[in-house]
Structure 1
Amino acid sequence: MLTVDFKHFPLKDGDRLLDLGCGEGRHAINAYIAGNIDVFAVDLNPSDLAIAQQRQQPFAEKSNAKSFHLQCADALKLPFPDHCFDKIICSEVLEHLPDYQGALTEIQRILKPGGTLAISVPRAWPEKICWKLSSAYHQVEGGHLRIFNSQTLNREIEQFGFKRYQRHWAHALHSPFWWLKCALWNQQEQSRLIRGYHKLLVWDLMQKPWLTQTLEKLLNPIMGKSVVMYYHTEDTV
């Protein structure tokens, strides 16, 4: 399930892309498959990185035109030199970080002049419903530390020298799923409703039927669970 839409974030041959907070590698692997680029993916969770490595293996190629690298790293202390990436994805990460502005500082440091950045965070009002329905939802280890107002976050990001060129919302069908999970937090494993909804989401992901795909596109501006914003930098350092 991709949050970043590569139609708004086109890849060029020879790009160096960083997936910051890659999790199990959904964006990094899709970017590697899509183009002749060098993909770097970092996360603090070794088990997620192991899953990402396993999932990438069927697509691995012996090619000088592309490469795939995984590394355990802290978003506040990235092990990369200044201005070394053409593109950076930071999807559903900032809400987990105590010092998210520190991560933005690092992104600013390692992104090349003229580079592009894609950032997504949970949308405010669907997230607020989750918080109201379940305190455990955001109090678990590694949970969400804050609810972002996208306009305020955009202004903060632009203060780092980025300029937004596109915005959209994603995963509208996932909002009710998470509301159900939060409302039935202590009965999730036993809930037939949650299991049934999860099967629907998996079916939608795998089969991409016209009905649910169209419904989600129509609902995304209204109740999309994530807001996705795209930026470019100035051409000079």
Structure 2
Amino acid sequence: MSILGWWRRRRAPRNETPAHGNEYVDSRDCGLVDAVQSGWFLNDRNELFSGFPIDAQDVVLDVGCGAGGATLFCAKRGAHVVFTDVVEEKIESLRQRLGQTPARKVEGFVSDSLPLPLPDAYATRVVCLEVLEHVEDPEKVLQELWRVGRPGALYLLAVPDPLGETIQRDCAPAHYFERPNHIHVFGREEFSALVEQAGFKVERRSSYGFYWSLWMLIYWTQLKASGRQITGETHDVVHPPYSPLLNDWSSLWHRLIQMPDFAPIKRHLDQLLPKSQVIVARKPF
């Protein structure tokens, strides 16, 4: 599941708000606050992720853009944004939203990335967040990402962490680890080696998302207890209204991360049971 797709700050409609009124915190709002504390969407530094700056001169390619949180962040910095996804409706929806931003150019393509519909050495920044675990041949996709990046281009790559994936096997439905969902689980060293073998220089490795790991475990456990079944891409079918227990977890975590003394605990938990692992890499000059 692409957590980035949920990191769009949006108030829940009234029929999503449970009885506990002012104590209620939408899961997505809590996830956004948690993400910023983990180094994402750093508005004051114009960094999509810590160590991944964006400015108006950049050409940013977002592969597997989904709901478009990363693309929108870059567009608001005036960058030339290029975005791809296999779902045409997502491309068109994002294209319309980008019309309200100062992006100097907007290009959207329906593509499975093999190949990407772009010339060689096109982008200065390449974003590929929680996509590689879905594709048949991650090595070939990385080769395409290499091809379209300029010498010196920065890459922001993320896949689910193996710890979070392993624990979900005990509660998630089988289709979560089948097409079109997660057909690869990358060990941390395996992911780093995959990126380096494609020719990139790894500049930073990180992990985050304890909040979302627990959120998903609660979601799957309650789903199994209810007897309901869901099919299709998980990030398209897991949507509000969320259960009272999930709302309680989001509200609790939101209160905790507002406490300055909790910051080191959050960092440890993000390493103990992360949802995702992140690599910032560079294509050598």
TM range (shorter): 0.7 to 0.9
Residues 213 and 275 in structure 2, CA contact (< 8 A), matched pair in contact too: yes
Residues 137 and 182 in structure 1, CA contact (< 8 A), matched pair in contact too: no
1:50-78 Cα distance to aligned partner (Å, 9 max, x none): 44335434x423xxx72232221121111
Question: Which of 102, 105, 111 matches 2:140?
Answer: 102
Asked if 1:194 corresponds to 2:194, the answer is: no
For structure 2, the residue ranges without an aligned partner over 5 or more in a row are 1-6, 8-31, 41-47, 229-240
1:150-173 Cα distance to aligned partner (Å, 9 max, x none): 211211211111010111112221
Could you tell me the percent identity over the aligned residues? 25
Tell me by how many angstroms 1:192 deviates.
2.8
Q: Would the alpha carbon gap of residues 91 and 210 (structure 1) be closer, same or farther in structure 2, given more than 3 Å must change?
A: same
Whole-Å Cα distance in 2 between the matches of residues 228 and 139 of structure 1?
20
Tell me by how many angstroms 1:138 deviates.
1.4
My pick for the range that moved more, 5-14 or 147-156, is 5-14
Asked if 1:92 corresponds to 2:93, the answer is: no
Residues 83 and 110 in structure 1, CA contact (< 8 A), matched pair in contact too: yes
**Match in the other structure for 1:130:** 168
Question: Which of 220, 223, 227 matches 2:270?
Answer: 220
Residues 134 and 182 in structure 2, CA contact (< 8 A), matched pair in contact too: yes
Whole-Å Cα distance in 2 between the matches of residues 232 and 70 of structure 1?
24
1:122-176 Cα distance to aligned partner (Å, 9 max, x none): 1101111112222335146521112110211211211111010111112221111
Whole-Å Cα distance in 2 between the matches of residues 145 and 87 of structure 1?
26
Q: Would the alpha carbon gap of residues 30 and 96 (structure 1) be closer, same or farther in structure 2, given more than 3 Å must change?
A: same
**Match in the other structure for 1:19:** 62
Residues 172 and 221 in structure 2, CA contact (< 8 A), matched pair in contact too: yes
**Match in the other structure for 1:60:** 101
SS of corresponding position for 1:90: strand
Question: Which of 43, 62, 67 matches 2:85?
Answer: 43
My pick for the range that moved more, 86-95 or 148-157, is 148-157
**Match in the other structure for 1:118:** 156
SS of corresponding position for 2:169: helix
RMSD: 2.7
Residues 152 and 284 in structure 2, CA contact (< 8 A), matched pair in contact too: yes
My pick for the range that moved more, 71-80 or 3-12, is 3-12
My pick for the range that moved more, 175-184 or 84-93, is 175-184
Residues 171 and 216 in structure 1, CA contact (< 8 A), matched pair in contact too: no
Whole-Å Cα distance in 2 between the matches of residues 50 and 196 of structure 1?
35
For structure 1, the residue ranges without an aligned partner over 5 or more in a row are none
**Normalization by structure 1: what TM-score?**
0.84
Aligned length, in residue pairs = 226
Whole-Å Cα distance in 1 between the matches of residues 256 and 49 of structure 2?
17
SS of corresponding position for 1:184: helix
**Match in the other structure for 1:7:** 50
**Normalization by structure 2: what TM-score?**
0.71
Whole-Å Cα distance in 2 between the matches of residues 108 and 125 of structure 1?
28
Residues 173 and 216 in structure 1, CA contact (< 8 A), matched pair in contact too: no
SS of corresponding position for 1:24: coil
1:71-129 Cα distance to aligned partner (Å, 9 max, x none): 21121111000111111000010001111111111011111111111100011011111
Residues 73 and 79 in structure 1, CA contact (< 8 A), matched pair in contact too: yes
